[in-house]
Amino acid sequence: MKTLMSEQVLDRLSIGVLAIDNQCRVTEINTQGEELLQLTKENALGKSMFELFSDAPEEVRHVERTIETQKETNIAAMPYHWGKYDMYLSIKTKLLRDQGEIVGAMVEFGDVTGFYEEQRRLINQMEDMCVNIIPLYDKTALFPLQPVLTEVDFSHVLDEILNKLAEMDIDSLIIDFSTIFHIDHVLFDKLNKLIQSITLMGVQVVVSGMKPALAKGWVGSNIPSLKMLFFSSLNDALKYLEKEVE
C-alpha cells in the first residue's frame, strides 16, 4: 500500500524524477520523467543509464556523476541538446542513503526551455538598450547610459559599442548619465574600460547629465584622468558641439 501511494505521489509531480542505484541502474522513474526522456518505465527499470542513453555526452550525465563523486548538483538551466532531445532542463541531484550508507542517487528535472528562452529574450533586449548609439550630426553621436549596464555581458556590450562607433565613423560621442542615479564600483570599472577604449579610438568623449552624487563618486574612483568635457545637461553638451561644428 505504501509503495503504491508513493508511486501515485511521484506520478502527480510536475517534474521528472529518476533514481538509480550504485551501479547506475534505474530503480524508479515517474510519469513526467518518462514523458521528458521519451521512454517507458517498463523499458527503463533495471537498465543501466549507460545502456539507456549510450550516446549521451558526458556533460549531461549529472546523476551518474553524483554517484561517482558523491557530490550533489543543482543547475537552473542545462542545455540538453543531443540525439532526439532539444530542450533546457533544470537539474537537481541528491544522494540516497540507507542507514547512513549511500545506496544510489536521484535526479529531479523539469523542462525550462520556455523560461530560458524568455530570459534570453530579455537579456538580448537589455543588451540592445546598452548599445544604443544615436547619430546626431557631422560625425557626432549620443550614447545614453542605461542602469541595466551592470546586468549584461559587458565584454559583448563593449565590443558592440566600439564596432558601431567605427562603422558610423564617429569623432565625438556624448555619454549621457541622465538616467543614472547610482554607480557602484562595478559600474565605475566598466565605465573606465569603456571610456579608455573609446578614447584610444580617437573619439572625443563628452559627458553630460551627471548627478552631484555621481560626480563625487567619480572623483573618488580609480578612473584615470582622461581628456573629457563635462556638462551638467545633455542640452548644454549639444549646444557646445553645435558651436564646434560651426
The Cα–Cα gap between 176 and 147 comes to 12
Q: pLDDT tens digit string along 233-242?
A: 899 888 888 8
Q: What is the CA radius of gyration of the chain?
A: 28
Q: What is the pLDDT of residue 43?
A: 93
Instruction: Please give the helix or strand (H or E) that residue 82 lies within, else none.
Output: strand 74-82
Q: What are the grid coordinates assigned to 10, written together?
A: 511521484
Does this model's pTM top 0.75? My answer is: no
For domain 127-245, the question of CATH label 3.30.750.24 is answered with yes
Q: What is the pLDDT of residue 11?
A: 66
**Band of pLDDT at residue 5, cut at 50, 70 and 90:** very low
pLDDT, mean of residues 127-133? 84
**Which pairs with CB-CB distance under 8 Å and at least 24 residues apart come from 211-215?**
211/177, 211/180, 211/181, 213/181, 213/182, 214/177, 214/180, 214/181, 214/182, 214/183
- Please report, for the chain, the start and end positions of each structural domain, with discontinuous segments joined by +: 2-111, 127-245
Sheet architecture: strand order including 228-231: 134-137, 140-144, 172-176, 204-208, 228-231
Residue showing cell 522513474? 29
Q: Which residue has the higher pLDDT, 190 or 87?
A: 87
For the segment(s) 2-111, the CATH number from 3.40.50.1100, 3.30.450.20, 3.20.20.70, 3.20.110.20 is 3.30.450.20
DSSP code, position 221:
S
Q: pLDDT tens digit string along 37-55?
A: 999 999 999 999 999 999 9
In angstroms, the first-to-last Cα distance of the chain is 90
pLDDT, mean of residues 103-123? 94
Q: What is the pLDDT of residue 2?
A: 40
**Band of pLDDT at residue 245, cut at 50, 70 and 90:** low
**Helix (H, G, I), strand (E, B), or coil: what is residue 83?**
coil
Least confident of 4-8, 9-13, 113-117, 182-186: 4-8
The Cα–Cα gap between 172 and 91 comes to 49
What is the rounded average pLDDT for all residues in the chain?
87
Amino acid at 86: D
Are 174 and 195 contacting, i.e. CB atoms less than 8 angstroms apart?
Answer: no
pLDDT at 220 over 80: no
